[in-house]
Amino acid sequence: MKLLQDLSYAELNELVGRYGEPSFRAAQLYSLAMRHKEYEEATNLPKKFLVALSEEYYATALEITETYRGKDGAEKYLFSLRDGCVIEGVYMPHNYGDTLCVSTQVGCRMGCVFCASGLNGLVRNLSAGEMLAEVLAVNRLHGGTPEKRAVTNIVLMGSGEPLDNYYNVTKFLRLVSDERGINISLRNISLSTCGLADKIRKLADSGLAVTLTVSLHAATDEKRSALLPVNRKYPIAEVLDAVKYYFAKTGRRIIFEYALAEGKNADVKSATELAELVKGINCHVNLINLNYVKERGMRGIASGEIKEFMQTLESRGVSVTLRRSMGNDIGGACGQLRARYIAERGASPKGAEAEEEK
């Protein structure tokens, strides 16, 4: 079975023609998909057409099966995909707009040593429609429509490495920013990568000028390789060259993420190395005090140490903030909810299809 939400407006036009329906049916189907509605909720489409369509396409790519609400207003969702796999997302309300953290893969293969997303490895890539459905499902949950959005900002920062799923992610960006759909501006979308330099350059040439957020986490190859194994393939110098190319092509300021891990990268020497590394790059450093993940055993640092790290950067002219941590009481860090769900239920990370094979 295929997914209706994978299709662009042009692809829907081709689809209705194949079923012998007039072209205006494409707009009706597109409206249904963008509102995250099932076929039985359609009031303006012929039943015979819907029955035939339902034999080939699911109307929606996923459903929200669990919702956890934090004291700070954040919400964490467990999404069930059509094949039984589960992913997660986090909704974060802010005074400047409400943000959804979107997953791009089921699991992850990057192997970052502090992250829960890769605990069970990579199962598969998400399709463009599955990513879009995360946004549309939460938008509907909060009373939003394509015309009046409840989700106004997106961060591709959930489970998965977006640039490891390049084709589907770039199609998602085109779908989610389509003015006939939910029409979220590319300027309101951030893409977080651990530094796949070749794909950063490819994204720069794509015309999809989102905010690029690079997970740096250390300023020397020795320290970074110990935290992010991908650094052995894409060392810091190569990543920074790609980042400078991205800025030159898009004019968008680069965001460097830096997770502060006790005993690893959070001392004054590390701060000094970081300041020296990013000197001359039009960038902002976003510090994150590491969320504790019991399977990883790494911790963040005390507030006084964070302040000292920030002051070291600021004294050297680096623009820096500490990211507001939301959803700590509901397992807000990437991959925590999915890992807990799999462990508690004895479920396969690969979903229902894997269960059937047992």
How does DSSP assign 253-307, residue by residue? PEEEEEEE-TTTT-SHHHHHHHHHHHTTS-EEEEEEEPPPBTTTTB----HHHHH
* Cβ(38)–Cβ(60) below 8 Å: yes
**What is the reported pLDDT for 357?**
46
Q: Are residues 7 and 37 in the same domain?
A: yes
**What is the reported pLDDT for 322?**
95
Q: Are residues 47 and 69 in the same domain?
A: no
Q: Are residues 155 and 232 in the same domain?
A: yes
CA distances from 304 to 45, 85, 265, 328 (A): 61, 41, 15, 20
pLDDT, tens only, 60-106: 999 999 999 988 889 999 999 999 999 999 999 988 889 999 999 99
Q: Are residues 35 and 155 in the same domain?
A: no
pLDDT, tens only, 101-148: 999 999 999 998 888 777 778 999 999 999 999 999 999 999 999 999
Rounded to whole angstroms, the Cα distance separating 252 from 200 reads 13
CATH of the domain at 189: 3.20.20.70
**What is the reported pLDDT for 297?**
63
Active site residue 194: no
**What is the reported pLDDT for 347?**
59
User: Radius of gyration over alpha carbons of the chain, in Å?
Assistant: 21
CATH of the domain at 38: 1.10.150.530
**What is the reported pLDDT for 170?**
98
Active site residue 63: no
Q: Are residues 16 and 83 in the same domain?
A: no
Which is more confidently placed, 347 or 10? 10
Q: What is the mean pLDDT of residues 271-295?
A: 89
Provide φ and ψ at 89, rounded to 5°: -150, 160
Q: Are residues 225 and 177 in the same domain?
A: yes
pLDDT at 231 over 90: yes
Residue numbers of the domain that contains 20: 1-60
Domain boundary among 21, 40, 60: 60
Rounded to whole angstroms, the Cα distance separating 158 from 331 reads 12
Q: What is the mean pLDDT of residues 23-27?
A: 97
- Among residues 108, 112, 283, 334, the one annotated as catalytic is 334
Contacts of 261 (CB under 8 A, 6+ apart): 114, 217, 227, 290, 298, 299, 300, 301
pLDDT band at residue 290, thresholds of 50, 70 and 90? confident
Q: What is the mean pLDDT of residues 300-326?
A: 92
pLDDT at 358 over 50: no
Q: How many domains are there within the chain?
A: 2
Domain boundary among 60, 86, 104: 60
Average pLDDT over all residues of the chain: 91
Q: Are residues 30 and 66 in the same domain?
A: no
Q: Are residues 318 and 352 in the same domain?
A: yes
What share of the chain in percent tops pLDDT 90? 80
**What is the reported pLDDT for 350?**
75
- Among residues 88, 130, 161, 257, the one annotated as catalytic is 88
**What is the reported pLDDT for 108?**
94
Domain boundary among 28, 60, 92: 60
Q: Are residues 163 and 173 in the same domain?
A: yes
pLDDT at 23 over 90: yes
pTM across the whole model = 0.92
Q: Are residues 30 and 82 in the same domain?
A: no
**What is the reported pLDDT for 115?**
82
Closest CA to 144 of 101, 191, 183, 174: 183
Q: Are residues 30 and 160 in the same domain?
A: no
Q: Are residues 13 and 110 in the same domain?
A: no
Closest CA to 278 of 219, 198, 349: 219
Q: What is the mean pLDDT of residues 50-65?
A: 97
Q: What is the mean pLDDT of residues 227-254?
A: 97
